[in-house]
Structure 1
């Protein structure tokens, strides 16, 4: 039996449904047909909210980046220095664990230079720069450090999601060791 059609869908409801598909089945399964089926509507109805699959991918990227920010921001409250870097690092990796499809969507905007995508990403960068302020990094050096931290966290998350860590070792301990090495490297530079 098909789900009952929904009247007056809001974009956030649509993106949440797309995120559920992505988290369970992978981002490649987020198609207009699959999304419409999940929502109990006809695929053409989705064109009221975005321009085809490319528009959906853009909205999902922005949605995912905003979800990531909402996970990171509270982890940085009331902490600073090493503790703050460890907190946002754990929040980042935990977000990727809980929402692998939504996390993947953050990287799949059709045009990463799009102003709306850039604006969403800027919040994450600004938060990261604020967390790294304790290390007295300014200007480009702060941005290089943010890139480095993101590279570590994305690499760790991607390897974990693809099953790349087969050894019987606690992944959270591995992450903590890696982040502490990053912190020590920032102090040494």
Structure 2
């Protein structure tokens, strides 16, 4: 019989906390044993609520993608053009700083061939749509929208990955460098819109 108060949502919440506490590598190093310890049950008891580690990681990724999408939409609200892009980029970076493991989980792409990933795939599509909405203000042609979303995501994520991995050793301001990256991304988006 499942432990009182323990549910799929509670197990995923515990996994979110375990991953987040472990820093940027927390999603990659997440284990059922750590989640069982946090919830006060034996590992086999978790199988009453999740289908194993892959299912648990999928649940963590789903919650993380949805949280990141809410952050993106919130930052974009009431803004347009370069101001919206700057706000969204800063919002993504702040989410990654506040929740590095959950940010990493949000980068976990769904497998379109796996029916178990359908909900995660839909959530990922919502995240892309939130960014695409911001880019519409630039007049990016429909056929170049995916390119623009990927370019912005690559710029922001690349900076975050290097920052979290200790890849910036010079004493210059990371915040100022990030603003340069975002400004350059804006120029790239503008170029796509006029190409």
TM-score (norm 2): 0.87
Q: CA deviation at 1:166?
A: 1.5
Among candidates 144, 147, 150, match of residue 150 of structure 2: 147
Alpha-carbon distance, 1:6 to partner = 6.0
SS in 1 for 2:67: helix
Question: CA contact under 8 A between 2:27 and 2:105: conserved in structure 1?
Answer: yes
Give, in angstroms, the shift of residue 112 of structure 1: 3.0
Counterpart contact for 2:31–2:53, Cα < 8 Å? yes
Backbone CA RMSD of aligned residues = 1.8
Matched, 1:164 2:167: yes
Query: 1:21, 1:29 within 8 Å by CA — same for their partners in 2?
Result: no
Distance 1:129 1:44 in 2: 42
Match of 2:9 in 1: 12
Contact 1:93 1:153 in 2 (8 A): yes
Asked whether the equivalents of residues 86 and 179 of structure 1 are also in contact (C-alpha less than 8 Å), the reply is yes
1:46-65 matches, within 5 Å, as: 46-65=46-65
Looking at structure 2, the residues matched to 39 and 140 of structure 1 have their Cα atoms a distance apart, in angstroms, of 47
* TM-score, length basis structure 1: 0.90
Cα distance in structure 2, aligned partners of 1:135 and 1:126: 15
Corresponding residue for 1:127?
130
Shift of 1:20: 1.8
* Structure 2, unaligned runs of 5 or more: none
Shift of 1:164: 0.6
Do the aligned residues in 2 keep the contact of 1:23 with 1:100 (CA within 8 Å)?
yes
Do the aligned residues in 1 keep the contact of 2:86 with 2:182 (CA within 8 Å)? yes
Cα distance in 1 between the residues matched to 2:67 and 2:162: 21
